[in-house]
Structure 1
Amino acid sequence: MDFNDIYNAHHRRVYNFCLNYLQSLEDAEEVTQDVFVKVHLKVHDFNHQSQLSTWIYRICVNCCIDFVKARKRKKRFGFLTSLFYEDSQALRHDPAHFNHPGVELEQKEAVAALFSKIDMLPPNQKTALLLSKIEQKSQKEMAAIMGISEKAVESLLHRAKENLLKKINTNE
């Protein structure tokens, strides 16, 4: 397996998933790079028990979840040490912003609000929702990517939709 062929065949899908999951161009680029570093380092361990694309998606999902966890840890630590720089009183951590190139300017506010609610879902629900609705994966593919049963995927999707509707209706 030639890494360049793997990269060329899967880069766009990995980047798009990261962009939808992380909602930031810079973060998506960083995580996409991390995904392909891991693919490059572990491609010899790939055992062909699933499709290569499924294996790469699994790495991608895990990298996105790990990135979000690390970002939250870093922000929590920042709150513990200080919210502001001592010398300038400027905010130490900028608030998150929505930056997605596929969204028209006039729709940006509505889509940003929706994605902010999706971002509040538990990681597995968020992953299932994005794989289903954005990536248009079947439940069988999602189960393989997430390493869970199809029934568990169905349950996650149901809970994700319910939780998202609650957040939209209560305007959380």
Structure 2
Amino acid sequence: MTQQYNFEKLYREYHVLVFNVALNYLQNLEDAEEITQDVFVKVYHSLENFNQKASHKTWIYRITINHCLDYIKKKNSQKRFFIFGQKSQNEQEYLNATNFEHPGILMENQEDAAILFKIINTLTENQKTAFLLSKLDRLSNPEIAEIMQLSISSVESLIFRAKAALQEKLAEKFTTYRKKK
């Protein structure tokens, strides 16, 4: 099979997966589309060097997650630059720079989902990755361990700590919210 055929097959098989992972990380349609394009450009250029020890799915997950994390770091550093570089006149522009857009969530649930994702975004990178892969992508712990290149027990620990942190932060958030009413 040619590299072009392999690439087209991989794109057909995994482009929805890549888009969904990016959307879960970034909560923005345009950003998820951009990441999807970037991931497949990388896949195309790296296909002949692909390590056959991992599955294509695992390899593409890793590329996607790394691109998302890099994108978030880059975007956050740009936001800080704009604030500290006096290019933004209003701190609210920084705080509200990303809008929550997720097509899989009903309009009436968008506000609650935005709160949840805002809290998910406060997790450490590894906790966030393990949690998203487990709860949103519904991958098994062995699959997550392979993608993250960690032991299964490490993945279990990350998911446990992520859930505990989310419970604590959500409890704080909604207690504060109830007091405001």
Q: TM-score range by the shorter chain?
A: over 0.9
Superposition RMSD in Å: 1.8
Name the structure with the higher helix share.
Answer: 2
Paired residue type of 2:8: N
Aligned with residue 127 of structure 1, among 129, 143, 147:
129
TM-score by length of structure 2 reads: 0.88
1:137 to 2:139 alignment: yes
- Deviation string 1:3-57 (CA, Å, 9 cap, x unpaired) is 1111011000110111111100011011111111111111111121011100100
**What SS does structure 1 have at the residue aligned with 2:31?**
helix
Distance 2:92 2:157 in 1: 40
2:63 corresponding residue in structure 1: 59
Distance 2:170 2:88 in 1: 32
Indicate conservation of the 8 Å contact 1:55/1:145, yes or no. yes
Structure number with higher relative contact order (C-alpha < 8 Å, ≥ 6 residues apart): 1
TM-score by length of structure 1 reads: 0.92
Q: Percent identity?
A: 44
Structure 1 consecutive aligned stretches of length 4 or more whose deviation exceeds 4 Å: 89-94
Distance 1:46 1:90 in 2: 44
1:33 to 2:37 alignment: yes
Distance 1:29 1:49 in 2: 29
1:156 to 2:147 alignment: no
Structure 1 residue ranges without an equivalent (≥5): none
Paired residue type of 2:15: H
Question: Is 92-101 or 156-165 further displaced after alignment?
Answer: 92-101
Aligned length in residues: 169
Structure 2 residue ranges without an equivalent (≥5): 177-181
* CA spacing shift, 1:92–1:159, aligned 2, 3 Å: closer
